[in-house]
Structure 1
Amino acid sequence: MQDLLDTHSWIGFVVAVAIVVAAVLVISAIASLVVRAIARRRDWAAILIRRARWPFRSLLLVIGLWIAVRVAFPEQAWLPALEHLALILVIAVGAWLVCQVFLFLVDISVSRYDVDVADNRVARRVRTQMQIVRRLVVVVIIVVALGSILLTFDQVRAVGASVLASAGIASIVAGLAAQTVLANVFAGVQIAFSEAIRVDDVVVVDGEWGRIREITLTYVVVVTWDERTVVLPCTYFTTTPFENWTKYGSALIGSVEFDVDWRVSTDGMREELDLVLADTELWDGRTSVLQVTEATGGFVRVRVLVSANDSAALWDLRCVVRERLVEWVRETDAAALPRQRVLIGDAVEAAAPAARTTAAPHTATEAVPERAGLFSGTPDAEERASTFTAAIPVQRIGDASEADVAGETRPAHGPDGGDES
């Protein structure tokens, strides 16, 4: 009789499993049809199908098998152990489903921001923050699921009281043991929401120029210009100064310097610079300056300032300008090639009168041509200069002389507004 009951129970279990599998397939098919119909008009539905399809089916299957076992074997001695296993599976698969639904919401939020545009600062900020939040929430969901699974064991619940009693000491010990890890975790969250760096930012760290590839809860991945990968802890970016070249924009100004002879034609170099910049698409048209910054040590130092839309274009533009101006000096103005002069004996005395005779100093009435400088000569340069002088009241010389002629007397004020003694 017992064997007959076991046979009927197993037959009933097989039938129940078949019904469960059929029900899971039907429910999944209906849900899939509904979501696919929505996907024809909404892009988010396709993302939902990709994320939640298998966790949803797995959860339905586990619950269905649990019901089938309870119906087919209602009074078996091993039923509690099997139900315990089913409960653990439900918690694990449910956590998987919750994670996938959360990742679906993150994907929807991130898809609204396109990084393949010129001004993508906001998009990179949102993607960086979502990347950190996604990892943090997934870790929390996993920890909660593991805690729930442990609480299903009676032995763990019995030990819970003693664990809570010593929670203060345990928290201190754990904090001391994991202070480095926790510091990196908090630093990762701080980086994500303080916007010190974002994914795809161009930075200079430890003298290495590279781009932020990935930001996690504990470390940051920087890919250098020569395709090396540098992994730095998150605390590096909260405790060590570094350069962020794309914090407020990607446009940059770079310099190219030359040590040439005193006989160099700066006007000729300016004309050649204009031709070089007009012939390349790397220049963004903002800044083009050629100035003599030093005239010591027997050489003249010429500095060229040019601008580009980003750091990569600026590097190539500086190389192009350097190569073309070197060729111009070598082929067109050979007198400007750097050289060392040595005057021996009477040559020094003979050269001095000749230099005084042939020199043509500027007269008082001779007009000095205006040159385009870094802080003068062009509207862009004047605007750049205003960032340094806007807060400083400047009195024009002409205004002061007119006031003196008219006999006006202006009191001198100190920094606090009072008269200076």
Structure 2
Amino acid sequence: METLSLIDHARALGSWIYHAIPDWVTGTVLLTGAALVAASLCNWVIGALSRRAARYGDVAAKLAARCKGPICALLVLAAVSAVLPVAPLPGSFAYLIGHGLAATLVLVLGWSAMNAVDLFADIYVSRIRFEDDSNNLQARKHVTQINILRTAMRTLLLVMTIALALMTSSSVRQYGVSLFASAGAAGLIVGLAARPLLSNLLAGIQIALTQPIRLEDSVVVQGEWGWIERIGSTYVVIRIWDLRRMIVPLSYFIEQPFQNWTHSSADLLGTVMLYVDYNVPVAKVREKLREVVAGNPKWDGKVAGVQVTDLPNASVELRLLMSARNAGVLWDLRCDVREAMITWLAREYPDSLSRRRLEMVAS
């Protein structure tokens, strides 16, 4: 009798709790439980797959890592969608959750597409072999193209994903249609604000295809010399020689002239100007230049010469030509040659240094 009494009391307590708790609380608990179960199951399955994928190389490991988030999100959405029809929720609340699930599904699919773009781009870049030489134009060309196209694809997918997510709701869709269809001041302001973004995005695609610049190209922009450090979706970061950073819009490299010292090859010609006296032994200067550059590891062994280019202000202008494998090495080589030649002239031919002559004639 006591056992039956306890069972009856338990049944009565359960019936009271069932009727006392609102339906929306019960439905919310069911949806939350389904989401937690699906997330736990996904973490366990993806963890096992990741450990197994690590045995098959970096590509499989990257694929498992990229798929973890979207797969777990899809499983949680599937579990919540399966429980939603049987959950005791008010009609308006269930309708709102349904629209939220549809919009979330679109966002997850867009997330999956962006992860796929990143995965393929990373795999492609990982197969590019950079040589130990700075003149690795093909490798830098491919990396630049992939990075710009990846940024453009991610931006396009993000815009499309948000637009499709908003289109899942009739109220937001109607608002969006009325906003974009209006020809008022708001539409004009939005169009003017979006013009620089779109022009830079299109410029990025054009740069990826035509390759006027690449990563680590040596360029001169607005009188500043540096290297292309980063090409973003709307701007380019130039690392100037003194470690400053110049930020330039992408459209600048399509609309404005600039110098690219490594467009076709990285090797360059440099000059050192010497202003000396008329009695300078030019042949000896040529021999000494050959000797100086031959003993300098910065010289690439291609060009070394001396030319008499002008006779300004009672002096002789000598142009010393030399070549190096890239702009940075060339700058150092020019400094070394300038120092060595001046030191040599001062020691061996001091009368050949530039001087002023004054002639006094008795009247």
Please indicate the TM-score interval, normalised by the length of the shorter structure.
Answer: 0.7 to 0.9
Equivalent position of 1:361 in the other structure: none
The answer to whether the aligner puts 1:82 opposite 2:87 as a matched pair is no
Q: Deviations over 1:291-324 (max 9, x none)?
A: 2222343212221111100000000000000001
1:4 to 2, 15, 18: 18
The separation in 1 between residues aligned to 2:180 and 2:30, in whole angstroms, is: 47
The separation in 2 between residues aligned to 1:236 and 1:70, in whole angstroms, is: 56
Matched-pair contact (CA < 8 Å) for 1:13–1:69: no
Q: Deviations over 1:209-233 (max 9, x none)?
A: 1111122332222111111111112
Q: Deviations over 1:267-289 (max 9, x none)?
A: 33233323322322101111111
The answer to whether the aligner puts 1:53 opposite 2:53 as a matched pair is no
SS in 2 for 1:88: helix
Taking only aligned residues, the RMSD between alpha carbons, in angstroms, comes to 3.2
Q: Deviations over 1:150-197 (max 9, x none)?
A: 222222344566567658999877545543333222222212211111
Structure 1 residue identity aligned to 2:352: A
1:113 to 124, 128, 134: 128
Equivalent position of 2:10 in the other structure: none
Identity, % of aligned positions? 33
Q: Deviations over 1:365-384 (max 9, x none)?
A: xxxxxxxxxxxxxxxxxxxx
The separation in 2 between residues aligned to 1:339 and 1:232, in whole angstroms, is: 46
Equivalent position of 1:62 in the other structure: 77
Alignment of 1:290-329 (within 5 A): 290-329=306-345
Bigger helix share: 2
Of structures 1 and 2, the larger Rg is shown by 1
Equivalent position of 2:5 in the other structure: none
Query: 1:59 Cα deviation (Å)?
Result: 3.0
The separation in 1 between residues aligned to 2:283 and 2:264, in whole angstroms, is: 35
Matched-pair contact (CA < 8 Å) for 1:114–1:120: no
Give structure 1 stretches of 5+ with no counterpart: 348-421
Aligned length: 347
Distance verdict in 2 for CA 1:254–1:3, change over 3 Å = same
Matched-pair contact (CA < 8 Å) for 1:252–1:311: yes
Distance verdict in 2 for CA 1:286–1:223, change over 3 Å = same
Matched-pair contact (CA < 8 Å) for 1:17–1:68: no
The separation in 2 between residues aligned to 1:131 and 1:206, in whole angstroms, is: 25
Query: 1:28 Cα deviation (Å)?
Result: 4.3
The separation in 1 between residues aligned to 2:112 and 2:91, in whole angstroms, is: 31
Equivalent position of 1:258 in the other structure: 274
Distance verdict in 2 for CA 1:12–1:233, change over 3 Å = closer
Moved more, 84-93 or 249-258: 84-93
Distance verdict in 2 for CA 1:281–1:337, change over 3 Å = same
Equivalent position of 1:196 in the other structure: 212
Q: Which one has more relative contact order, counting CA pairs under 8 Å at least 6 apart?
A: 2
The separation in 1 between residues aligned to 2:109 and 2:197, in whole angstroms, is: 29
Matched-pair contact (CA < 8 Å) for 1:189–1:217: no
Distance verdict in 2 for CA 1:189–1:301, change over 3 Å = same
The answer to whether the aligner puts 1:245 opposite 2:265 as a matched pair is no
1:187 to 193, 200, 203: 203
Matched-pair contact (CA < 8 Å) for 2:152–2:201: no
The answer to whether the aligner puts 1:225 opposite 2:241 as a matched pair is yes
Equivalent position of 2:304 in the other structure: 288
Distance verdict in 2 for CA 1:184–1:158, change over 3 Å = closer
Distance verdict in 2 for CA 1:68–1:35, change over 3 Å = same
Distance verdict in 2 for CA 1:167–1:95, change over 3 Å = farther
Query: 1:78 Cα deviation (Å)?
Result: 2.5
Matched-pair contact (CA < 8 Å) for 2:204–2:234: yes
2:108 to 69, 93, 115: 93
The separation in 2 between residues aligned to 1:26 and 1:143, in whole angstroms, is: 32
SS in 1 for 2:52: helix
Moved more, 254-263 or 8-17: 8-17
Structure 1 residue identity aligned to 2:211: E
1:124 to 133, 140, 161: 140
Matched-pair contact (CA < 8 Å) for 2:34–2:76: no
The separation in 2 between residues aligned to 1:160 and 1:270, in whole angstroms, is: 75
The separation in 2 between residues aligned to 1:307 and 1:263, in whole angstroms, is: 28
Structure 2 residue identity aligned to 1:253: L
Distance verdict in 2 for CA 1:112–1:6, change over 3 Å = farther
Matched-pair contact (CA < 8 Å) for 1:184–1:219: yes
SS in 2 for 1:259: strand
Query: 1:331 Cα deviation (Å)?
Result: 1.5
Distance verdict in 2 for CA 1:282–1:236, change over 3 Å = same
